[in-house]
A and B are shown apart, each in its own frame.
Chain A
Amino acid sequence: MSEIVQISDLHKSFGDLNVLKGIDLTVQSGETVVLLGSSGSGKSTLLRCVNFMEEPTQGSVSLHGELIGTEAGGKMQYRESELCALRTRIGMVFQHFNLFPHMTVEQNVMEGQVTVLKRSKSEAQSKAMTQLERVGLADKASEYPARLSGGQKQRVAIARALAMDPDVMLFDEVTSALDPELVGEVLKTMRQLADEGMTMLVVTHELGFAYHVANRVLFLHDGKILEEGKPQQVLKNPQTQRMREFLDGHSLFKLPD
């Protein structure tokens, strides 16, 4: 196992608001790490700091042991070219899909390959088809996003990220905007990726997914990691009052066994 992502002493504040207050996290190759936490706990911000959608205020992020950014005058400096290159190696999937509406499904999956990685059209096309088959949407290649269901859109978004051959995938509450009956197909695709050995960092409210798929679960509260461990341990035997409250809130109306 090798370290893919290494985060140390990460802080992020928006003005006076301190969202992350010192996060240390290492993600090993092939690992699926699930971040749990109530809204405002900082889990999405942490995820967005990994690919620098948000620039950390303090601390460092390394990918494959390479430190991102250069230190100058006690502060990290990030160049656009460096961050763009970094983001091609980190796939991200959003809550609201963010597919490109003026492009077909296939063009959506080809866009980054052609514009950023400079792959030839034919190479990008065959790669796009491979990834669309992987998420079970090869037959929708020539459709426009507007004609797809939410679950299908999200699977296209996953294919779009996978087509860049990323080292790690970030999932930011990707089922939160979906109708309950469409959540399953997206989670199934994610489980399949995890089984295939993809390194994944997942922010979700799906405790079932965390329990069955994650290698490790982190519970964030108030910008810090409050609990961390195997899902069976963290979800079945929480150590802190805050985590117990969180779990109670999520299983308030569980069906009786």
Chain B
Amino acid sequence: MTHTWDFATIIQNWQVLWVGLKGTVLIFLVTVVLGLAGGLLVGIARYARSRFLNWPAMAFVEVFRNTPVLVQIIWFYYAFPILTGIEVNPFLAAVLGISLNTMAFSAEIYRAGIQSIDPGQWEAGKAIGMTYNQTLRRIILPVAIKRVLPALTNRGIEVFKMSTLASVVAYVETLNQAKLIADLNFNPIEAYTAVALIFFVVLYPVVQGTYVLERILKKGD
């Protein structure tokens, strides 16, 4: 196998990839915020004693944890509009698929964090007259979230990579733009290699940062 690497056309079309990267960052920001914030609510509901909160939360988690994100995105794009009559654009379909999946996964992380807190902390809050919600907000969550922060940052990194799935409904992000370049210049090898490189260059420093974060958090305990 001999392949002569030629990135000239990629570099010429850097603006096309730049537009894609901006699309990637946009969908990442929206889905990571929705996913991690929504996951907190689902996680709290999952932990609650009330069945009215607990059961729907559990059903939600199981549905979205056990179906592929790619299928969810396609389903929201093609099936959902036919079933409901509501128009769904590529961005919305991808946001729904990725953030619902992230909510389901992060809900379990938050729940595990809440469960890991010593029951004595609940008792101490209760004993000074705090309500369940006050104890949760003031005493339990600050410690629980700090404890699961490494797991949540991992989730965030996954979300960033998951954004490429949005290309399946032709949302304008890095992979989709690379496909465009590949189709026009017949250079798929360079185009997709460029995508991998872009993701690596963006994520590597972030991942290194999370190691530092983990060390700092360990020290605080």
Set of chain A residues within 8 Å of B121, measured between Cβ atoms: 98, 100
Q: How far is the CB of B135 from chain A (nearest CB, A)?
A: 9
- Asked if B124 is an interface residue, CB under 8 A from chain A, the answer is yes
Cβ–Cβ contact B123 & A161, under 8 A: no
Q: Smallest Cβ distance from B195 to chain A, in angstroms? A: 42
CB 8 Å contact bits of B110-134 with A (1 = contact, 0 = none): 0000000010110110111111101
Q: Which of B123, B131, B138 contacts A80 (CB 8 A)?
A: B131
- Is the CB of B209 closer than 8 A to any CB of chain A? no
Complex Cα spacing A94 to B118, Å = 13
B143 in contact (CB, < 8 A) = yes
- Is A116 interfacial (CB-CB < 8 Å)? yes
Cβ A87 vs Cβ B124 within 8 A: no
Chain A residues positioned under 8 Å from B132 (CB to CB): 80
Q: How far is the CA of A117 from the CA of B128 in the complex (A)?
A: 10
Let me know if B194 is at the binding interface, CB within 8 A.
no
Report A192-215 CB contacts with B as 1/0, cut-off 8 Å.
000000000000000000000000
**Also in contact, A94 and B128, with CB within 8 A (given A100-B139, A101-B143):** no
| A111-B126 contact in complex given A94-B120, A100-B121, C-beta closer than 8 Å | no
A45 close to chain B: CB less than 8 A? no
Q: Is the CB of B129 within 8 A of A164?
A: yes
- Which residues does chain A contribute within 8 Å of B143, judged by CB atoms? 101-102
Q: Are A115 and B127 in contact (CB under 8 A)?
A: no
Q: Which residues of B contact A (CB under 8 A)?
A: 118, 120-121, 123-124, 126-132, 134, 138-139, 142-143, 146, 221
Known: A102-B146, A116-B129. 18 other contacts (CB 8 A): A51-B127, A53-B126, A53-B127, A84-B131, A87-B126, A87-B127, A87-B128, A88-B128, A92-B127, A94-B120, A100-B124, A100-B139, A112-B128, A112-B129, A115-B138, A116-B128, A116-B134, A164-B129
